[in-house]
Amino acid sequence: MLSGHRIRQFRGVIFVCAMLLIAKSAFAHAILLESAPAGNSKVSGPNVPIKLRYNVRIDKDRSRLILVSPDGSQQTLVIEKESPVDTLASEAKGLAAGEYRLRWQVLASDGHITRGEVLFSVTK
């Protein structure tokens, strides 16, 4: 039979292991570090380069960029294959003036999917 001291030590070890697992899973998701255009920025059109950089390697083949136009229509942007491993790059062409929403979904190299969006405005 385990003594009270041994049981407390065992519980402490279990607690530390659980905290380490939680911390590891929190850092496993892709986090957007910077975007161009920046969130809530104004850019000139009609062609707008897109660049999203994350904290981890991104699986480009299983990630998506969707541009939502001011009228609500959506267009899937083609992701450039030659960008750095932590970056999604594309170009939105022929944009009219107005507010746009860039929705992104990325698959990090560890298998976690992360989603988000960047709002920006196009001026002429």
Mean pLDDT by 10 residues, the chain (124 residues): 64 57 58 97 97 96 97 97 96 97 94 95 93
Q: What is the pLDDT of residue 1?
A: 59
Q: What is the pLDDT of residue 58?
A: 94
Asked whether 112 and 30 are in contact (CB, 8 A), the reply is: yes
Task: Say what the pTM is.
Answer: 0.76
Peptide bond into 37 cis (omega under 30): yes
Q: What is the pLDDT of residue 124?
A: 81
Coil/strand/helix, residue 17: helix
Residue 106 CA to its chain's centroid (Å): 6
Counting Cβ atoms within 10 Å, is residue 89 exposed (0-12), middle (13-18) or buried (19+)?
A: buried
Coil/strand/helix, residue 88: strand
Q: What is the pLDDT of residue 110?
A: 84
Distance in angstroms (rounded) separating the CA atoms of residues 44 and 109? 34
Q: What is the pLDDT of residue 25?
A: 45
